[in-house]
Amino acid sequence: MRVVVITGASSGIGAALAQALASERDAVVLVARRADILRSVGDKCGDHAQTIVADMTRRDDVQRVVREAVGRFGHIDVWVNNVGQGITRLPTLLTDEDIDEVMRFNVKSALYGMQEVLPHFKERGTGQIINVSSMLGRMPFATFRSAYCGAKHFLNALTATFRAEVQQTHPGIQFSIVSPGIVRTDFGLNARHGGPDSRQLPDSQSAEDVAAVIVQVIASRKPDVYTRAGAHDRVVSYFDALAVDP
């Protein structure tokens, strides 16, 4: 039985992914801070679901998640770093606390997950870490999401360099980036300093659509995947428009 740990699993993409994988008879370990909501998602996923209340911005909590997941199922096959938080603030107005918080939620939570599950994967010689990034980690076009753009760029670079380092000695361990655009979740409403409701923005997709792409990434083990057709071409066009030859 494939065992998948999903952080940020109480709602949005994480909850949708948990239910999609459970429907394929995978065992899912659901991690979030909100116990009651997390338990509700776990109940929908059936007997092979484990819920762990934990704060993924605390390294000791991440270590506990690894221990409890392995203790319940014997191993972990896939670890999905899905914790994240938006921030609504123009770059000229950013404070030290803004930067610290956006890095804590969007980078440190993933860093801790990668570092703490990696010894288990190395021991097994296989495993996959999936980091949920964003189109804003490719194209920093939303000025009011300035620090979030920067954090997701950081996450992408960290994922790529982890992959390059680890695969020198353990080629069976994959690090994948998944980059959604606007998703119809509570992301906008929960952003630091508030923000527009993501459900009201144009050109959005559902959490279930993103979850379906992540299920495919688990099957294919591709290193870098967008969740919308044409997204890659949009990124190329964005940078082509800015590029100037020396």
**SS3 track for 163-199:** HHHHCCCCCCEEEEEEECCEECCCCCCCCECCCCCHH
CB–CB of 24/46 below 8 Å? no
As to burial, measured by CB atoms within 10 angstroms (0-12 exposed, 13-18 middle, 19+ buried), residue 60 is exposed
The single-letter code of the amino acid at 205 is: Q
Q: In this structure, are strands 27-32 and 3-7 parallel, antiparallel, or unpaired?
A: parallel
pLDDT score at 203: 87
Cα separations (Å) of 147 from 52, 160, 211? 29, 20, 25
**CA pair distance 156, 138, nearest whole angstrom:** 9
Instruction: Give the contacts of 220 (CB within 8 A, at least 6 positions apart).
Output: none
**CA pair distance 56, 109, nearest whole angstrom:** 5
Instruction: Give the contacts of 107 (CB within 8 A, at least 6 positions apart).
Output: 151, 154, 155, 158
pLDDT score at 200: 87
pLDDT score at 245: 81
Tokens 């190329």 found at: 236
Determine if the pTM surpasses 0.85: yes
Domain range annotation of the chain? 3-242
pLDDT score at 243: 85
Residue 170 tokens read as 């353990």
Q: What's domain 3-242's superfamily in CATH?
A: NAD(P)-binding Rossmann-like Domain (3.40.50.720)
Tens digits of pLDDT across the chain (246 residues): 999 999 999 999 999 999 999 999 999 999 999 999 999 999 999 999 999 999 999 999 999 999 999 999 999 999 999 999 999 999 999 999 999 999 999 999 999 999 999 999 999 999 999 999 999 999 999 999 999 999 999 999 999 999 999 999 999 999 999 999 999 999 999 999 998 889 988 889 999 999 999 999 999 999 999 999 999 999 999 999 998 888
CB–CB of 174/118 below 8 Å? no
Dihedral sign for Cα atoms in the order 105, 19, 178, 112 = positive
Report phi then psi at 230, rounded to 5. Answer: 85, -5
As to burial, measured by CB atoms within 10 angstroms (0-12 exposed, 13-18 middle, 19+ buried), residue 187 is buried
pLDDT score at 75: 98
Collapsed DSSP state (helix, strand, coil) of residue 152:
helix
pLDDT score at 63: 98
Instruction: Give the contacts of 153 (CB within 8 A, at least 6 positions apart).
Output: 137, 140
Q: Which residues are catalytic?
A: 148
pLDDT score at 5: 98
Report phi then psi at 188, rounded to 5. Answer: -65, -40
